[in-house]
Amino acid sequence: MNEPTSKFGNRNPKTRIAFSNGAKLRCLVMGGAGFIGSHIVDALVGKGHDVRVFDLPHISMENLIQLTEAVVIFNGDFNNIRDISNALDGVDVVIHLVGLTLPGPSNQNPVYDVETTVIGTLKLLDAAVKKGVKKVVFASSGGTVYGIPNILPIPEAHPTFPLCSYGITKLMVEKYLELFRHLKGLEYTVLRIANPYGERQRMDNVQGAIAVFLGRVLVGGKITIWGDGSVARDYLHVSDLVTAFLKVIEQDTHERIYNIGSGHAVSLKNVLTVIKHVTGRRLCVEYTDARKEDVPINCLDIGLAIRDLHWHPVLSLEDGISRTWEWMRNHGNWNRGQTLRGSRSEINNG
Ligand SMILES: NC(=O)c1ccc[n+]([C@@H]2O[C@H](COP(=O)([O-])OP(=O)(O)OC[C@H]3O[C@@H](n4cnc5c(N)ncnc54)[C@H](O)[C@@H]3O)[C@@H](O)[C@H]2O)c1
């Protein structure tokens, strides 16, 4: 799939739906009980917006425990049109964070990936048009949509050749968003997110190297690294990611696709060095075979977001890991109701 034709811009610029700064918005956060979603919900409530959360019925709402009075929770499956229809009534902005697969494991079952992520999103977009939603904000993946980079940092206009089905389905959703805008006037902004980490991220071997490593350190367990530790990623604390979401939820944007990361690549070995420093613990690390789906390096060019959204990340990796470690030490037994995406481990891609 090809990307924007201009050097750093998107093909159809100028999102204009007249959101004025300070207006109270009715927001529906799809997947709002998850790691990123719950932080966005916190921030939206803090800014006085009217917030609804849509998430699966059988999962723990622990991430939102402090907000149960402040938000309306809709339980259901986003692949079920009846479930999402009620939740969309009167909504201005949908923040689409439902995640059903992970980068590496998605290659084991691309059919499932397309059937759930893509088809589910199409049903959501269709319903959003019918209900008069003004805008959709979509969490895409800056860590996978580009594939192996031919320049660093990677701009939004870089060619897209994902090494995993997850990255392909993210791109498919991006393309359908543009189609729905073109045909039906549904506005959207895509954030191609790098590698977010922080409080509430699962530490039980699912996604996110930093959370997984800290979780192992917490219990004195062994950290497993695929490859020699040179794989480098662009790590962003979730608080910085949330400020980017707020920017595109609350205001018009000049472009429709933004990279959101730190703009720096840090190797797994260097992450371990910071973790050792922050935790003061001895690390037990084992190295195993590298995986084919892991690109050697990912680092996003965030110039467009800085210039256009007046956004920039503020937390250093060390400060972000300190905050995450502090939280983990206080929530050592924290876990979500169940493993939503199985017990697959996924630590390297965003
Ligand atoms: N965490 C990352 O490293 C990262 C990086 C780039 C992009 N993203 C994307 O951001 C989004 C949020 O990621 P996250 O890390 O917060 O994941 P998460 O698993 O913590 O949250 C996803 C939420 O979606 C909900 N969900 C899953 N299937 C559902 C269904 N059928 N119906 C309703 N809800 C369902 C889950 O219950 C969960 O609360 C995902 O789309 C993910 O692909 C994440």
Catalytic-labelled residue, pool 112, 146, 166, 197 = 166
Binned at pLDDT 50, 70 and 90, residue 105 comes out as confident
Ligand 1 atom closest to 142 (CA) = 6
At the fourth CATH level, the homologous superfamily of domain 198-234+263-299+316-330 is UDP-galactose 4-epimerase, domain 1 (3.90.25.10)
Burial class (CB in 10 A: 0-12, 13-18, 19+), 286: exposed
Q: Which of 143, 127, 106, 105 is nearest to 54 (CA)?
A: 127
pLDDT tens profile 166-204: 999 999 999 999 999 999 999 999 999 999 999 999 887
Pocket lining: 59 vs ligand 1, CB cutoff 6 Å: yes
User: Would the pLDDT of 331 be above 90?
Assistant: no
Residue where the block lists tokens 């481990």: 345
What is the chain's mean pLDDT, rounded? 89
Half-sphere exposure of 120 (CA within 13 A, CB side): 23
* Mean pLDDT computed over 1-27: 53
Q: Residue 260 is inside which H or E element, if any?
A: strand 257-260
> For the packed helices 165-184 and 119-130, what is the interaxial angle rounded to 10 degrees?
20
Is pLDDT at 94 greater than 70 in this prediction?
yes
- Render pLDDT for 281-311 as a digit per residue (tens, 0 to 9): 999 999 999 988 788 999 999 999 999 999 9
For the CA of 79, the nearest atom of ligand 1? 31
- Answer yes or no: is pLDDT of 13 > 50: no
Average pLDDT over residues 238-243: 98
Q: Is 153 in the pocket of ligand 1 (CB under 6 A)?
A: no
CB neighbourhood size of 290 (10 A): 15
CA distance 1 to 182: 18
- Distance of alpha carbon 309 from alpha carbon 297, whole angstroms: 26
pLDDT at 144 over 70: yes
- Which residues, 6 or more positions from 212, have their beta carbon under 8 angstroms from its beta carbon? 203, 204, 205, 206, 223, 345, 347
Of all residues in the chain, the percent with pLDDT exceeding 70 is 87
**Is residue 236 in contact with ligand 1, taking CB distance under 6 Å?**
no
The CATH homologous superfamily of the domain defined by 26-196+235-260: NAD(P)-binding Rossmann-like Domain (3.40.50.720)
pTM of the model: 0.91
Judge whether residue 19 has pLDDT over 70: no
Say if residue 225's pLDDT is above 70.
yes
Please state which of the ranges 83-87, 181-185, 306-310, 346-350 shows the lowest mean pLDDT. 346-350
pLDDT for position 283: 96
Q: Cβ distance 152 to 299 under 8 Å?
A: yes
Q: Rounded to 10 degrees, what is the CA torsion of 36, 233, 300, 150?
A: -140
If pLDDT is split at 50, 70 and 90, which confidence band does 215 have?
Answer: very high
- Please check whether the two domains, 26-196+235-260 and 198-234+263-299+316-330, share a CATH topology: no
Residue 285 CA to ligand 1 center (angstroms) comes to 28
**Domain ranges across the chain:** 26-196+235-260, 198-234+263-299+316-330
How much is the average pLDDT of 103-127? 93
- For the residues 44-65, what does the mean pLDDT come to? 93
